[in-house]
């Protein structure tokens, strides 16, 4: 019997599984698709306090998120790194003094230590204005962080497994029943077979499905806990050369980010905020959202874009806590934990939250379970690196330099990508390889057979998409033929595995 069954392998479920397993609890994490295959791979990929939330007086959330920013940066300096954002001042929108006060608070609310402070910027002295229309002459520059969102989820699940958790992807929890203080869950596996597991506690971390899962456990509420709000992004060939990002104010009061993407080859633009009531498994950017994002971009950049310039899009549904706010943009981004006890067995639902606050959320979940598990150990994740994040002094550039000496045969671009993806785990991945030939077949865009094997063996990857979209984003850089090559490789592998499994049968 498990102590905890965590349902949902997005950032919240993976973070809770890691924290609980590290406290000595017996944990099972189940995810109906791949890890991070829904909202947690469709974010703007920022570890941020959320400057915009100050306008809604959500100081508690901003402070909590700003404190987490530096803790997460320390835990995973390979997949999380500092960014500078430039906010060009638009005369007709928020006044300069208001932005200045907001940024002062943003700099000070969370005890910022490592990230540089806000400063003013002017067209006359800063090339950042070059790609912008000439009416933008001044603005502000402040700090936040980038995160490879799907990798953050995967690394939490990997670390949960290192601490003894069982992790089952492509496994759906189809029903739940509580009796005598024990939950029995029915699980459906990829081959359509079904098993049952028992657990003392269930954590409902099903994100946008949180209400549906509660209903499967027989919990009925008068009103939904969750408000579903869709957000879309577009990816276009790069619109500017600077490493810094832009945060634009749109006339409807929203803010839109324009961020250098995939080593600056592209610009990522997002996001939208739209009520959502369609199929949660089919979330896509609509033509209207794409047109809207192009329009906001065109208000600021000299270079004009049309939907025809968009090379890729992605969309996700925010599972926000239903606080009855009038419009989708102003619903709180903070989380709420709700515990229902059925037949003496706790069922804890996670509603809302941001990627930025997942670690703190997991700690708060464990606090709520203190009475159920009096022998579990205390909080531990604040100062512990995620897999690959134990880079000496957290200094990525120095580590890159050292690895250049250790692996002189790796082309610099490939080494950089491998380190940004795997951090110190590069040593496990490369093992005793001495040349590119030792990495096996090359599938294109720097993806070698060795890395595919590593991702299957260590990171729960099962399909080409798991690797090309979530463990890496190499699909964006590959030709269709290369992508087909990776898919064929997976098919050949599974045929070979099935053949060897049947050969072993008596």
Ligand X SMILES: Cc1cc2nc3c(=O)[nH]c(=O)nc-3n(C[C@H](O)[C@H](O)[C@H](O)COP(=O)(O)OP(=O)(O)OC[C@H]3O[C@@H](n4cnc5c(N)ncnc54)[C@H](O)[C@@H]3O)c2cc1C
User: Which position among 88, 139, 231, 387 is part of the footprint of ligand X (CB under 6 A)?
Assistant: 231
User: Which long-range contacts (C-beta less than 8 Å, at least 24 apart) are formed by 91-94?
Assistant: 93/249, 93/251, 94/249
Residues 271-310 that bind ligand X (CB under 6 A): 271
User: Closest CB to ligand X among 95 and 275?
Assistant: 275
Binding-residue total with ligand X (CB under 6 A) = 39
The piece of 2-10, 80-88, 195-203, 241-249 that touches ligand X (CB under 6 A) is 2-10
User: Closest CB to ligand X among 65 and 410?
Assistant: 65
**Quick one: DSSP state of residue 456?**
H
- CA distances to 129, 381, 405, 420, 451 from 399, in Å: 33, 23, 10, 11, 20
Q: Does residue number 73 form part of the binding site for ligand X (CB under 6 A)?
A: no
User: Closest CB to ligand X among 23 and 470?
Assistant: 470
| Type and span of the H or E element at 246 | strand 245-249
Q: Does residue number 49 form part of the binding site for ligand X (CB under 6 A)?
A: no
Tokens standing for 381?
Answer: 């994740």
Q: Which residue has the closest beta carbon to ligand X? A: 10
User: Which position among 12, 150, 267, 332 is part of the footprint of ligand X (CB under 6 A)?
Assistant: 12
Q: Does residue number 16 form part of the binding site for ligand X (CB under 6 A)?
A: no
* Nearest distance in Å: CB 253, ligand X: 17
Residues 196-225 that bind ligand X (CB under 6 A): 205-209, 213
Q: Does residue number 318 form part of the binding site for ligand X (CB under 6 A)?
A: yes
User: Which position among 21, 46, 234, 269 is part of the footprint of ligand X (CB under 6 A)?
Assistant: 46
Nearest 5°: CA angle at 383, between 207 and 455? 55
Helices (H), 127-250: 149-162, 210-216
**Is it true that the peptide bond before 322 is cis, omega within 30 degrees of 0?**
no
User: Which position among 4, 11, 86, 305 is part of the footprint of ligand X (CB under 6 A)?
Assistant: 11
**Quick one: DSSP state of residue 132?**
B
User: Closest CB to ligand X among 171 and 445?
Assistant: 171
* Nearest distance in Å: CB 431, ligand X: 32
Pairing of strands 442-444, 447-448: antiparallel
User: Which position among 316, 389, 394, 446 is part of the footprint of ligand X (CB under 6 A)?
Assistant: 316
| Type and span of the H or E element at 503 | helix 480-504
User: Closest CB to ligand X among 139 and 208?
Assistant: 208
Determine the Cα–Cα distance for residues 41 and 90; give it in Å rounded to an integer: 31
User: Which position among 20, 42, 157, 426 is part of the footprint of ligand X (CB under 6 A)?
Assistant: 42
User: Which position among 3, 10, 211, 256 is part of the footprint of ligand X (CB under 6 A)?
Assistant: 10
* Nearest distance in Å: CB 134, ligand X: 30
Determine the Cα–Cα distance for residues 404 and 379; give it in Å rounded to an integer: 37
* Nearest distance in Å: CB 234, ligand X: 12
DSSP annotation string for 387-444: TT---GGG-HHHHHHHHHHH-TTS-HHHHHHHHHHHGGGHHHHHTT--SGGGG--EEE
Residues 128-187 that bind ligand X (CB under 6 A): 172-173
Q: Is 170 helix (H, G, I), strand (E, B) or coil?
A: coil
User: Closest CB to ligand X among 30 and 235?
Assistant: 30
Q: Does residue number 110 form part of the binding site for ligand X (CB under 6 A)?
A: no
The piece of 7-15, 121-129, 443-451, 486-494 that touches ligand X (CB under 6 A) is 7-15
User: Which long-range contacts (C-beta less than 8 Å, at least 24 apart) are formed by 306-311?
Assistant: 309/236, 309/237, 310/234, 310/235, 310/236, 311/235, 311/236, 311/237, 311/266, 311/476
* Nearest distance in Å: CB 257, ligand X: 8
User: Closest CB to ligand X among 4 and 206?
Assistant: 206
Q: Are 49 and 144 in contact (CB under 8 A)?
A: yes
User: Which position among 6, 21, 30, 54 is part of the footprint of ligand X (CB under 6 A)?
Assistant: 30
Q: Are 62 and 109 in contact (CB under 8 A)?
A: yes
Contact track, ligand X, 242-271, x by CB under 6 A: -----------------------------x
Q: Measured in whole angstroms, how far is the alpha carbon of residue 396 from the centre of its chain? A: 20
Q: Are 227 and 220 in contact (CB under 8 A)?
A: no
| Site for ligand X, rule CB under 6 A | 7-13, 30-33, 37-40, 42-46, 48, 172-173, 205-209, 213, 231, 271, 316-319, 353-356
């Amino acid at each position: 019997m498990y102590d905890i069954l965590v349902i949902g392998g997005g950032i919240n479920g993976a973070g809770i599984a890691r924290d609980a397993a590290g406290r000595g609890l017996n944990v099972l994490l189940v995810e109906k698709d791949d890890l991070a295959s829904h909202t947690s791979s469709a974010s703007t990929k920022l570890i941020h306090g959320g400057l915009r939330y100050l306008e809604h007086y959500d100081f508690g959330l901003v402070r909590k998120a700003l404190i987490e920013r530096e803790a997460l940066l320390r835990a995973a300096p390979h997949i999380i790194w500092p960014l500078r954002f430039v906010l060009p001042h638009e005369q007709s929108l928020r006044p300069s003094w208001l932005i200045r006060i907001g940024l002062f608070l943003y700099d000070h609310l969370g005890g910022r230590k490592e990230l540089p402070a806000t400063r003013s910027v002017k067209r006359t002295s800063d090339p950042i204005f070059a790609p912008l229309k000439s009416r933008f002459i001044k603005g502000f520059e402040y700090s936040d962080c980038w995160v490879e969102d799907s990798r953050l989820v995967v690394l939490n699940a990997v670390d949960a497994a290192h601490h003894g958790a069982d992790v089952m992807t492509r496994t759906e929890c189809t029903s739940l029943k509580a009796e005598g203080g024990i939950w029995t869950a029915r699980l459906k596996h990829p081959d359509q077979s079904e098993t049952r597991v028992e657990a003392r506690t269930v954590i409902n971390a099903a994100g946008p499905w949180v209400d549906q899962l509660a209903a499967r456990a027989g919990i009925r509420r008068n009103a939904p806990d969750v408000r579903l709000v869709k957000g879309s992004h577009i990816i276009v060939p790069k619109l500017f050369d600077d490493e810094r990002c832009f945060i634009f104010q749109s006339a409807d009061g929203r803010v839109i980010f324009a961020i250098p993407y995939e080593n600056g080859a592209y610009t990522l633009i997002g996001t939208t905020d739209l009520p959502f009531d369609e199929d949660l498994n089919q979330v896509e950017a609509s033509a209207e959202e794409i047109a809207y994002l192009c329009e906001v971009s065109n208000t600021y950049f000299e270079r004009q874009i049309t939907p025809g310039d968009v090379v890729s899009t992605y969309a996700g549904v925010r599972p926000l806590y239903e606080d009855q706010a009038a419009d989708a943009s102003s619903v709180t981004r903070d989380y709420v934990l709700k515990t229902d006890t059925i037949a003496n067995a706790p069922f804890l639902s996670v509603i809302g939250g941001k990627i930025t606050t997942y670690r703190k959320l997991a700690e708060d979940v464990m606090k709520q379970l203190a009475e159920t598990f009096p022998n579990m150990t205390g909080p531990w994740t604040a100062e512990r690196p995620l897999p690959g994040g134990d880079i000496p002094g957290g200094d990525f550039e120095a580590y890159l330099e050292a690895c250049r000496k250790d692996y002189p045969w790796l082309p610099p671009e490939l080494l950089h990508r491998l380190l940004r993806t795997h951090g110190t785990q590069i040593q496990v991945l490369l093992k005793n390889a001495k040349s590119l030939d030792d990495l096996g077949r090359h599938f294109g865009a720097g993806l070698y057979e060795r890395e595919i094997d590593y991702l299957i063996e260590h990171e729960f990857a099962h399909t080409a998409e798991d690797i090309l979209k979530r463990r890496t984003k190499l699909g964006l850089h590959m030709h269709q033929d290369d992508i087909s090559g990776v898919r064929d490789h997976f098919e050949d592998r599974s045929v070979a595995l099935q053949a060897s499994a049947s050969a072993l049968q008596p």
